[in-house]
Structure 1
Amino acid sequence: MFHTIQISQAAGAMKMEESQLWSLLGQCGIQPVEDSLTLEQVWQLAQALEDRKQESQRRSQEKLERLTEQYTLLIDTCSLLHPQFPLLIEHLEPLLRGKGKALIVPSGMVAELRNLLLKKPELAERIRALLPLMVQLRQQGLLRVFGGQNEDFGDQQMLTVVTRFMTAAPLLVITQDNDLSADLLRLNQLGSVRGQKVAVSRINRYGYLSRYLTPEQRGMSSSSVSGPGPFFPSAPLVEDREERLPACQFPQTGDLVRTNQGDIRLGPALAKGGEGTIYDLEDGTVAKIYREEKRTVLRRDKLALMTSQSVSIPGVCWPRELLWDGAGNFLGYRMERARGTELQKCAFTRQALERYFPEWKKLDMVHLAVTILEKISALHRCGVLLGDINPRNILVVSPEEVWLVDCDSYQVGGYPCPVGTVRFTAPEIQHCRFSGFLRTPGNEAFAVATLLFMLMLPGKSPYAQQGGEDLGEVIREMNFPYPCGENRSDHTPAGAWRFLWSHLPRYTKENFYGTFQRGGRYSTEQTRLTVEQWLTAFRYYGKLLEENKLQDPQSGELFPDRWKITDPDDLLVYQHAVCQECGKPFDITEGEHKFYRQHDLTLPRRCPSCRNLRKLERNGLSFSA
């Protein structure tokens, strides 16, 4: 009876390359031993794949629900004949019923089906199965046929219908036809057609909807922003214009400012910064009034675009409406009031964590990472890139409550994010003028990975290493100082950082190493892990911690005080001892006892911390937690 299976055999059975299976195992947190999987690990892999499948279905159903609520849905002939159309209806039917909506079929599509029944016998069986389903849906009010009975050209009628009704309601057309998709999206660019934007999706193999990608977008990286959103696709770059607006009288606490809904009175000032002053409006919102030199045409026009679309994401302080003075001069904008402490202040040092969140464990930090990733993912689905992922602009209340502020700097449409921080800037755009180009999802993916690394090793930049070289140059060189598998490094920062790194799951270390090391699997703009991929990895990490499936108990601590233990003997206590240097108690494990006995050495008389301190002092280094 076999108790293990070789990786090569498992890959063959799953019909994938070995490298693909290794990547999959890493994402699932499974660490093979000597290129083999145990039966328990095979079961763990199957369970992880099933969990990912269910999670993917959940997200797809939530996306379908959002689309059904946001759009009027139209469908063309080729999507009606798609093999997964009945499955789409199965997913869509309760949503249509709940929202009192129907799937719209232009009448020309019905005529086209009749013609295909005569001209293409190979489709006859599929059409005969489709027609009763359409009749049933129509009787239930879930499908409506629009247009005259004499319409023969389905695509042309679809364009006519969309052009006519896009002025009244947001439309989503479901089609598998590339040419029709391109024609529909071009309607968004026509100056003669004013109204809502048209979105285009297609039925995927799972019976859900995927956004149509142009050939240019299909050539982009896997990190591309997904899902129809009010700011996607991006418009051409809006050049940075420093043209200032006419001078005006700036309001103070107690003064009235104008909105589209009427006048509001400024409350007490809450904060002052380089861009302006934040005033409490005492209704759960605040006003940001810009300084004179920050009131530019570019800023006003960008905020006008942002406030033209309702982006409602819990914890994201999106601009709600513009603010003006009595003479119509632009002053700033209104947004939801945030709470919490800056991530930079409360979670990036041990002392800060012990002050603000003394009860936190590793699981809390992983949950915090998931919460932040979920908000970034929601913005990406709207076509928004954060651009400058700055820990000072992330406020933390708890692992499950986070606020993103200073959203006016985000990249929307053709308006770039004009600012950036060296440690969060991808190698390919180091030393660039941020206001002069539009960041790509691949650029953003580097910043996301950096933030996650600094959450797992609180406050430590991925490229902060011994030697003190210029950080921007180190990032461009992509010399990642942490070891992974067979890859070693002589530049790993000394002290507790090594312990923190060693306790991360193997797949998490591989993800970070693959991202930050030149030549790594995810190290280029086109191959970096997406926010959704990181979400899957960190949700699984959280599950491992919740179910206590990590081998070493210290892996659940925020700051473990030793290397990760993989030998079971090292988890058993051989002897309790007291450190002769600091006086603190420590344990000598069975594994240590065996090692010292095999090498005819005396058992240690100092605790691990004092031993490490002496070792560092001998090397001329200081120990820092």
Structure 2
Amino acid sequence: MYNETDILKIASYFNISKEELINELDASGLHIKYGQKNISRETGFKIYNILTENRKKTVNNKILKTDIEMNSINRMEYYIKNFKIFLDTSSLLDDEIYLFIDNIVPLLKTNNKKILVIPQVGMELEKHANRSNDEKLKEKSKKIILILNKLIKQNLIEVIGGTNESFADNVFLSVFTKFRIDHNLLLITEDKKLANDIENLSNIASVKTNKVINVRKINRYGFLSKHNLNKTTDIYDSKIKSIRTNNENKKIIQHEAFKLFTKVSESINKPLSISILPKVGDILLNEKGEKIKLMNEIASGGEGIIYETDSKYIAKIYKKDQLNTRKFEKIKKMISIKIDNSSICYPREILYTTNQEFVGYLMPKAKGKELQKSLFINQLLKKNFPYWNRKNSVELCLTILEKIKYLHERNIILGDINPMNILVVSSKEVYFVDTDSYQIEGYPCPVGTINFTAPEIQRKSFNEFLRTFQNEYFAVSTLLFMIMLPGKPPYSQQGGESPIDNIIKMDFSYRLGDKTNHKTPIGQWRYMWSHLPYFVKESFYNTFHYEGSNSKPQNRINVIKWISIFKRYEKLILDGTLINQDEMALDVFPKRVKKISKFNYEKCSICKMEHKDSQMRKGICNECLSKGEHYSCKKCGKHMIYTNNQKFLQNKPKFETCFECFDGKERMYQILSCTICYSTFNIPYNEYKKLKNNNLPIPRECKKCKSNNTTKAKKNNINKQPYNVLSIGNAFSNLINNFYKK
């Protein structure tokens, strides 16, 4: 068994704390409890493999960057493009300087930029290399000087500033004061005092500029991290934290996001007493004591009733059996952070009776029709949105993704993502409802549906654990798939197992190149799939197929990545690329597979659709050839079809009776050889039918032999002869009889 010390050793090996290790494992679907002292050796290996997999991804034996590494690279590239970057002596002598150089040099070359070094830094390095009593410092300084000279020759480092001042810190202060008006400046240093002095230059009120000064240090991975100073300003960080709400940029500060929990809150749940449930016309109070009047009832569900009020919000009033301390605590926690998005019908204010009894909450009013009932059925789609096309479907995906991104940025997990909780007004206006079930902090989302539940949490009780963002990404991917193939879950298949088994096995049926399990639903679903761009199909395949590169929880495509994928799709639609390739590219329900440029196409004379010439025969497609006129047999009523293939290609007449009934008396079922005289005889269809209906065997003797045998049997019975002559053939039987007569 592994004990707690071994778990700490694993965490130490990967340079993370025990808490970080537990959180990372939880996000990857392996749950280790806080305080758990012993784990099996097998689990220990699993932990090691998960942490290793999270840090290294390979494709064709090439190591790819992890998400964390990519974020650090993107941050560094942002600085290179937008800042003048200075290195001081302390950073050049840092233990991780070699990693830093390896990371930054490719970015400098790509962007044709340089790092700036003042002469005083070179002078300090030369001093250490020539006069230092510390041998390690001496050797290190020599190596750094050689590296700097090499980078100067490659035009990746530029030396700027005067040599009059001997102290480097003073030169940095002077240079930054001079350049700060026209440039964003970044100093990389390990010296906290210098870092603080440089950042304080931003506070000089007499200088008017919109440029900023940042100070960073080199971390253990060779990337850049903040100093723990009292005040920092970072354009990149503020952009990362900013989100778009109602087309306005707002900055999310720390208290605007919920904390991330790894286990369910253990608070005791008790029913709340209430004297009488409010109804239409009753007065309720919000937390400010303001009166809210219930007007008309809008809808009723399992949990409660929705009312219009005399305010700008509508009210959800819980039923008596739904009122408990846990629900009250959760709603109270939810409204502690403001969700400033009117299309997310999120709790805004708690409602009480005049006796201060909790009964529900106020929320924005939703509009539109359920996604499930408006877009996922062809007839209803045509009725509700008659001009809807694939461009609208892609726009709808992006609209929904932006709202989910908004919630995820505040550490809100929707949990029960499904098309019944999304109302659609148009492709660019949707409303999220049933939001009080969202997961926040230690309060789980207690509900879910099979199609939108990730494989690793199938058959689990939703109110007993907390979902992770990785679980949510599976549900998001499923929703996108069902919008692009209206109403069809990704694991529906032809002749497959139950949906839950297909999901757990990740048995995805839709073809990607030559990869298929040959269970793809027939008809329009194949056509819809074929018309998706390859990169969209690849993303879905990699997410839903057990061999896909994004099938593991830790590798799933997140919301931001999906946004970039669908924006790329939208661009191909808007610039006409897809419609130029195939006129059905924007059809929600295309009537054939997508055209491929290397094939020739011909129009079918019956369905008027274009098909590959290899699928055509005399101007008719194979599908139409198999179709035809349906009718019944005049004799037995059996269903019959007069195919287009028989009519147009084979020129056969239309038969009034089925094959079995047609000339049944004369047509033969089987030709047999008599086991007695070896002559052949026929079994007609009508005789075969009688035998079959009476459960009688097919005869093996001809009628003549059968008749002779019957006559002999009768004589033998009358004469009571003690023996029987064995007949092995008609001729042989006659010979024996003649012999006895003589």
| TM-score > 0.5, shorter chain as reference | yes
**Structure 2 equivalent of residue 252 of structure 1:** 279
CA deviation string 1:174-202 (max 9, x = no partner): 976989x99989xxxxxxxxxxxx9x999
Residue of structure 2 in register with 1:565 after alignment: 595
Confirm or deny that 1:514 pairs with 2:542.
yes
* Cα distance between partner residues in 1 of 2:625 and 2:440: 49
The superposition leaves residues 411-446 of structure 1 with CA deviations (integer Å, 9 ceiling, x where unpaired) of 111111111111100000001111111111110000
Which residue matches 2:572?
544
What CA deviation, in whole Å up to 9, does each residue of 1:371-416 have, x standing for no partner?
0000000100011110110211100000000000111111111111
Displacement of 1:303 in angstroms is: 0.6
Mapping 1:134-145, distance limit 5 Å = 135=177
Work out whether 1:234 is the aligned partner of 2:261.
yes
Q: 1:131 aligns with which of 173, 185, 194?
A: 173
Determine if contact 2:315/2:362 at 8 Å carries over to the other structure.
Answer: yes
Q: Of 552, 575, 583, which residue of structure 2 is paired with 1:524?
A: 552
Q: Tell me how far 1:486 sits from its aligned partner.
A: 2.2
Distance 2:566 2:629 in 1: 33
**CA distance in 2 between partners of 1:429 and 1:407 (Å):** 21
Once residues 612 and 275 of structure 1 are traced to their aligned partners in structure 2, the CA distance between those partners, rounded to angstroms, is 53
1:403, 1:526 → 2: CA distance?
29
For 1:100-111, list aligned pairs within 5 A: none
Q: Residue 424 of structure 1 corresponds to which residue in structure 2?
A: 452
Query: 1:133 Cα shift?
Result: 7.0
SS in 2 for 1:239: coil
Secondary structure, in 3 states, of the residue corresponding to 1:268?
A: strand
Give the secondary structure class of the aligned counterpart of 2:500: helix
Aligned to 1:385: 413
Please list every run of 5 or more consecutive structure 1 residues that lacks an aligned counterpart in the other structure: 1-15, 25-52, 62-76, 84-115, 144-150, 159-172, 186-197, 212-225, 580-584, 619-625
Q: Is the 8 A contact 1:521 1:527 kept in 2?
A: yes
- The code of the aligned residue for 2:332 comes to A
Residue 368 (structure 2) pairs with residue 340 (structure 1): yes
- Show the counterpart of 1:438: 466
Give the 3 Å change call, closer, same or farther, for CA 264–17 of structure 1 in structure 2. closer
In terms of Rg, which structure is larger? 2
Of 415, 421, 428, the residue aligned with 2:443 is: 415
| Paired position in structure 1 for 2:296 | 268
AA aligned to 1:454 is M
Deviations 1:279-338 (A, max 9, x none): 111443101000011111111001101111111124111111111111111111101111
1:495 aligned partner, one-letter code: G
Give the direction of change, closer, same or farther, for the CA distance of 1:282–1:609 in structure 2 (3 Å limit): farther
Q: Which amino acid aligns with 2:173?
A: L
The letter for the 1-side match of 2:336 is S
Distance change in 2, residues 1:305/1:461 (3 Å): same
Contact 1:203 1:210 in 2 (8 A): no
State the number of aligned residues: 454
Do structure 1's residue 555 and structure 2's residue 585 form an aligned pair?
Answer: yes
**1:602 and 2:618 are equivalent in the alignment:** yes
Aligned with 1:556: secondary structure?
A: coil
Worse-matched range after superposition: 604-613 or 445-454: 604-613
Report how far residue 569 of structure 1 moved: 5.4
Q: CA deviation at 1:351?
A: 1.2
Amino acid at match of 1:527: N
Q: Give the distance between the partners of 1:433 and 1:418, measured in 2 at CA.
A: 8
Residue 586 of structure 1 pairs with residue 616 of structure 2: no
Q: Secondary structure at the match of 1:318?
A: coil
Letter in 1 for 2:258: F
Matched residue of 1:555: which SS? coil
Distance 1:412 1:139, change over 3 A: same
SS in 1 for 2:363: strand
Q: How does 1:85-234 map to 2 (within 5 A)?
A: 131-132=173-174, 135=177, 229-234=256-261
Q: Of 473, 485, 488, which residue of structure 2 is paired with 1:460?
A: 488
Distance 1:487 1:272, change over 3 A: same
| Residue number in structure 2 paired with 1:621 | none
- Displacement of 1:519: 2.2
User: Given that residues 515 and 528 in structure 1 are in contact (C-alpha distance below 8 angstroms), is that contact kept between their aligned partners in structure 2?
Assistant: yes
Please tell me whether the aligned partners of residues 287 and 334 of structure 1 are also in contact (alpha carbons under 8 angstroms). Answer: yes
Q: Does 1:357 align with 2:357?
A: no
From the superposition, tell whether residues 297 and 177 of structure 1 become closer, same or farther in structure 2 (CA, over 3 Å). farther
| Residue 561 (structure 2) pairs with residue 533 (structure 1) | yes
C-alpha contact 1:289 1:331 (8 A) present in aligned 2: yes
The whole-number CA distance in structure 2 between the counterparts of 1:256 and 1:380 is: 35
Structure 1 counterpart SS, 2:436: helix
Partner Cα distance (2:61, 2:345) in 1: 39
* SS at structure 2 position matched to 1:553: coil
Q: Which residue of 2 aligns with 1:222?
A: none
Do the aligned partners of 1:385 and 1:411 also contact (CA within 8 Å) in 2? yes
Cα distance in 2 for partners of 1:295, 1:270 equals 20
Q: Is the alpha carbon distance of 1:606 and 1:139 closer, same or farther for their aligned partners in structure 2, counting shifts above 3 Å?
A: closer
- Alignment partner, residue 37 of structure 1: none
**In structure 1, distance between residues paired with 2:537 and 2:585:** 14
Q: CA deviation at 1:233?
A: 3.0
* Structure 2 counterparts to residues 76-87 of structure 1, below 5 A: none
- SS of the equivalent of 1:257 reads strand
SS class of match (1:280)? strand
The answer for the alignment partner of 1:313 in structure 2 is 341
Structure 2's unaligned 5+ residue stretches are: 1-56, 66-73, 83-89, 101-123, 129-136, 145-158, 162-167, 186-191, 200-213, 242-251, 631-638, 641-742
Percent of aligned pairs sharing the same letter: 36
Alpha-carbon distance in structure 1 between the residues aligned to 2:282 and 2:565: 50
Aligned equivalent of 2:422, options 384, 394, 406: 394
User: Offset of 1:124 from its aligned partner?
Assistant: 11
For 1:304 and 1:443, how far apart are their aligned partners in 2? 26
1:454/1:613 CA distance change after superposition, 3 Å: farther
Partners of 2:620 and 2:459 in 1: CA distance: 50
Q: In structure 2, what is the Cα distance between the partners aligned to 1:610 and 1:557?
A: 25
> Residues of 1 paired with 2:175 and 2:598: CA distance?
60
Query: For the Cα contact (< 8 Å) 1:210–1:227, is it kept in 2?
Result: no
Residue 471 (structure 1) shift: 1.4
Structure-2 change in CA distance of 1:203 and 1:568 (3 Å): same
* SS of alignment partner, residue 305 of structure 1: helix
Write out aligned runs for 1:11-22 (5 A).
none
C-alpha separation in 1, matches of 2:479 and 2:592: 24
Quick check: 1:201–1:209 contact (8 Å CA) kept in 2? Answer: no
> What secondary structure is seen at the aligned counterpart in 1 of 2:445?
coil
Change (3 A) 1:484 1:295: same
Q: Which residue of 2 aligns with 1:92?
A: none
